[in-house]
Chain A
Amino acid sequence: MSDAVATSQSILVVGGGISGITAALEAAECGKQVVLVEKNPSIGGRVSQLYKYFPKLCYPSCGLEINLRRIRANRNLRLMTQTELVGLSGTPGDYTATLRIAPRYVNDNCTGCGACAEAVQAEFDDEYNYGMKKRKGAYLPFNMAYPPRYVLDPRILGTEDAERAKAACKYGAIDLDMQERTVDLHVGAVIWATGWRPYDAARIQPYGYDRFANVITSVEFERMMDPFGPTGGKLLRPSDGKPAKDVAFIQCAGSRDRNHLKHCSRICCMASLKQSTYLREQFGDEGRATIYYIDIRAIDRLEDFYARVKADENVRFVKSKVASITEDKQTGNVILNGVDTEGYHRYSNPHDLCVLAIGMEPSVDRSAFPVEVAVDQNGFIEAAPENGAIFAAGCSSDALDVNRSVQSATAAALRAIQVVNRVAGVEG
């Protein structure tokens, strides 16, 4: 890769999750020059933190490997990590993008040998594992991190650890003098693929995410299935490390709610159906899931997966918006209180663990866009003519699952190509 140059015929892709990767690759494989920027040290985004995909129950890392292979093979694509877009000016076909590149403190010489991580002592919350685990101050973010290059946490700078890392590296790859840089790129079109973040669960006060150890979010639950994750691949509840065999899933946690996110986050029903299969995978007949839902939104062919999960007698569905969660201090169990609206029965059901099927909100706040774009009441970028040659892809445009994000990203790639081809026509 990386012969790409930035001109008015180049496409800038902001965000290196599945949507950004896809948009960048699809355009580059059409022969276009593409610059892909990602603010984290490695690409892959949220899908790299998933154990399995619904409805196939296949592994996201499998598709990521294919995409990494495509990136390695493509000379039209230039990847810049730890890079954020901080300014954008100009008009369609003629934009100047200002990029701020944070120092990695590790240069191209890195062979990925891991000696620096061994030498460093300080540990920090591991972002990849939503803080459920610690990582070293010199680290490879995860097994498939790309570029496969270590990173130094800026917090070890000026400490002995920084010197230890430097001393441990035989290849001159640690550069403690690296500085933040700002560069301007000339591009013709911009694809905005900044993705989503989980809604702040602590704000859903009655569910006590901030009070009860055994109330967690769906994204955290997902991390538990990773053999290299915080629990070594076991479903253990946080309070006492006991196997979480009886798990409650609360749908629309933060979604479809006037007090929180008004929109439906689309993926959460399917995510909980998927996660209910993890219980059977780990505990066989002893695994039990109860899904508290308003509507199960398994649209189009995803219905098949819903039917499959429904056929499992260990998965129970309760049509109810859970009113509150309390804790049984003796057992550590969580107790879900509410009314089953099918027949109006009150319940107070104890479970080992409660998973909040947390809503999806755009990761960039409306106020944080470096340029004027049309954003709807839910914070998603609208497809609007006034956006010029700035095209949203994936979850920056709507609450989408992976399949539809990729669809959206592929479409965005063509819209960007239309602009740069017009420029080429004029310039050519």
Chain B
Amino acid sequence: MADVKIGAYICKGCGLGERLDTQALATIATREGKAAFAKEHDVLCSQSGVDMIRKDIDAGEVDRIVLAACSRRAKTDAFGFDTVAVSRCNLREGVIWTQPDTEEARELTQEMAEDYVRMSCAEVKQMIPPHPNELAERNRHVLVVGGGISGLTAAVEASRAGYPVTLVEKSGALGGWAAQLWRRVPTRAPYADPQDTGVAELVAEVEADPGITVYLNSTVTRTSGAPGRFAVDITAESGGTATENFGAIVQATGFTPYDANRLPEFGFGKSPDVVDQLGLEALARAADGGAIKRPSDGKEVRSVLFIQCAGQRSTAKGHLPYCSGHCCNTSIKQAMYFKDSNPDIDTTVLYTDLRTPGKGEDLYRSGQRKGVIFTKGVAQEVKPGGRGLQVRFKDLILDQEVEVDADLVVLATGMVPNSGVDIEAALKKEAAGAEGGADGEAAADADAAPVQEVSILNLDYRQGPDLPKLMHGFQDSHFICFPYETRRTGIYTTGPVRRPMDIAQALEDATGAALKAIQALENAALGRAAHPRSGDLSYPSFHRDGCTQCKRCTVECPFGAIDEDEQRYPMFNEARCRRCGTCMGACPVRVIYFDNYSIDTVGQQIKAVDMPEESQEKPRILVLACENDAYPALDMAAMNRIGYSAYARVIPVRCLGSVNSIWVTDALNGGYDGVMLMGCQKGDNYQCHFVKGSELAHYRMSKVYDTLEQLQLEKDRVETHEVAITDIQRAPQLIEAMAETVKRVGLSPFKF
């Protein structure tokens, strides 16, 4: 630490000069904060202020700077110094905008500012500007798993951008389910008639592209490594295995059609004239534009009835609870197969909600024009009789039971994702057992999934061989704003394995997934983090000496980034890491650190706060706030001049998951009267962008209560809150409430 050269720059603009004794702050920065110098400036973000700082950096006067001015969220363009370690000391939003501008408040306001200067100096002293990991590798090769239209599209789109692609397909042919369609739902205006599937052209493009290598009859039998350096075994059905290296992976393993044999009430399996939508496509292909014939006797179909939501949108045992999204449009398209060849054929679509969003409405209207009948009703039974089949249903408009005859019945069944092994099944089972064996959603879903669970990627990751499944077995992102968010960096799922979808959406989705794969490998090459800390060059390291091989970091990493080496030490796989610091929060012996974020960068801030003696009756409240949500909420409170206790000292953290219990126990031992953790919503609808950070923090803090007991401290002194970015009024109220609590239970006995 001998060569630490801290420069402290103290701004006097935006009222700081009037409200604070900036000279005193400068003195504190040099005397207590050990800054080489402290400079005051009237408007630090102005050109002359920025030039002053830049000059010092360029002259080698400083390698770490404290910018005592506004929030880290403000004036980021002006303060973009990325060659030195920077601590933004938040005197504006964090101090003067949250405290009343009165003579009485002046003393506490100044104390607050002085503490923040001490904290920033302490923080920056521990920081090293992060450099990209030298081990970062660039590999521009993209692996696409699955040769249906999603996989084909991802391959073509990545190749068109100049990235070589290898495509692995389990079966002997490319094209997937889409290749079995007669026609597809229209994609161009006026969206009125079925159109060619385009699959043949897509397959031809892939086969003709020298940038795309195709393995048929092959599967991925082992995947190891990380973005930029995936090593993948591709094994042919016949036995041979090739090992190739890739920068990123797109998983487009699609869906399995729901097994219609599970719907005996609709006569599937009993009569060959009851088919599912793919069955109808086969009949249409056989007809080749001519009259479609029913399977039982080859008679031309004169009447056909489509049952929507067959085995879907249903809570019945063995059914799919979700909607597969495409089936309404598909049935309309299929009804047109009949109407287009012979307008006299009766075509009825039996539905409860007809779901043709967007341009689908044009197709729906076209169907109506062509004479397709749409009946709102619930099918109850299909059995042989009458002209062929008898369908009994409840007509919801007429509010009565109706029976009709049909030559052919088409069941619009759903999609079941091919998402591999449920790596969290064991955990879910455990949880269900703990709740007394009640069969929760997970159990019902497992029951609905007739797909045999075989691993797709065979990841040799510590946390299991496939990507975690989300709702109903799909591997969709959990985030509205970030549909491509993945919990295995550099591996992107696309198409119906992610979410039930139609062809049009799958094409968009696969193109987007190809971009994310390219982005992941480009970032990995530069040692940069992927979303949400995009561009972050820091990565976790650990002191081998102190590590007890407890594995907590490898188990708790929300992204499965950490493996164990042969000697059972953690292996961080930086390119998989998202830099949330959950491992750092987990480590009981505190050996994990980032260059610019560590136990010390926060711990020393906590210790740097000046702890008034008990007699002064000035409590101190430590607030550890998630930098993405709680901290901005406090910032915006300040912008609206919503104040909070002058006793609070707020430290932003990357994620509540990075909070190590030592910070809390050190704070309590050091005389803080209250400690607050503010993180994002946890639970099923979690809003934590690092998935489990907030959840883990809540769990870890429950353990801290034992410590409180040992210290004979009141439980009320430590609180963990779920705070959203919109809690602009509530977050300050929570701090105020903690100040009240401290008043009630009294000052900490641990003041020195």
Contacts and interface: CB of A to CB of B under 8 A. Distances in A.
Interface stretch (B57-65, B106-114, B353-361): B353-361
A127 B588 CA distance: 52
B91 interface: no
Contact of B522 (A30, A114, A415): A30
B445 to A, nearest CB: 11
Contacts of B518: 30, 414, 417
Contacts of B481: 18, 53, 60, 62-64, 66-67, 402-403, 406
A31 interface: yes
B508 A403 contact: no
Contact of A62 (B359, B478, B725): B725
Contacts of B324: 300
Chain A at the B interface: SS class: loop
Interface stretch (B126-134, B469-477, B592-600): B469-477
B13 A301 contact: no
B358 A407 contact: no
Interface in A314-352: 319, 341-344
Contacts of B179: none
A28 B405 CA distance: 59
B188 A262 contact: no
B284 interface: no
B247 to A, nearest CB: 12
30 contacts: A18-B481, A26-B516, A29-B531, A30-B522, A31-B522, A51-B726, A61-B725, A62-B628, A66-B689, A72-B77, A114-B639, A171-B46, A262-B362, A264-B357, A301-B323, A342-B376, A342-B399, A377-B362, A378-B362, A382-B188, A384-B188, A402-B480, A403-B481, A406-B483, A410-B512, A410-B515, A410-B516, A415-B511, A417-B161, A418-B161
Given A111-B45, A171-B46, A414-B512, A295 B354 contact: yes
Contacts of B15: 113
Given A307-B315, A410-B483, 16 more contacts: A56-B480, A63-B480, A63-B481, A65-B628, A111-B43, A111-B74, A147-B77, A171-B43, A227-B726, A298-B353, A299-B325, A301-B323, A342-B376, A376-B190, A376-B359, A407-B483
Contacts of B514: 414
A197 interface: no
A413 B513 CA distance: 11
Contacts of A301: 322-323, 471-472, 474, 476, 499-500
Interface string A375-403: 01110101110000000000000111011
Interface string B411-432: 0000000000000000000000
Interface residues of A, number: 92
Interface residues of B, number: 92
B632 A378 contact: no
Tell me the interface secondary structure of chain B in the complex.
loop
Given A113-B14, A297-B357, A411 B480 contact: no
Nearest to A422: B162
Contacts of B511: 410-411, 414-415
Given A299-B323, A404-B505, A263 B519 contact: no
Interface string A139-179: 01001100110000000000000000000001100000000
Given A63-B481, A297-B357, A425 B162 contact: yes
A411 B484 CA distance: 11
A181 interface: no
Contacts of A295: 351, 353-355
B687 interface: yes
A30 to B, nearest CB: 5
A111 B75 contact: yes
A194 interface: no
Contacts of B480: 53, 56, 58, 60, 63, 402-403
A63 B191 CA distance: 34
Given A264-B360, A297-B353, A59 B534 contact: no
B76 interface: yes
Interface string B35-66: 00000000101100000000000000000000
Listed residue (B187, B321, B353, B362) with the most chain A CB atoms within 10 angstroms of its CB: B353
A303 interface: yes
Contacts of A364: none
B353 A296 contact: yes
A70 interface: yes
Contacts of A410: 483-484, 511-512, 515-516
A256 to B, nearest CB: 6
B629 interface: yes
A59 B724 contact: yes
Given A62-B629, A410-B512, A69 B532 contact: yes
B20 to A, nearest CB: 15
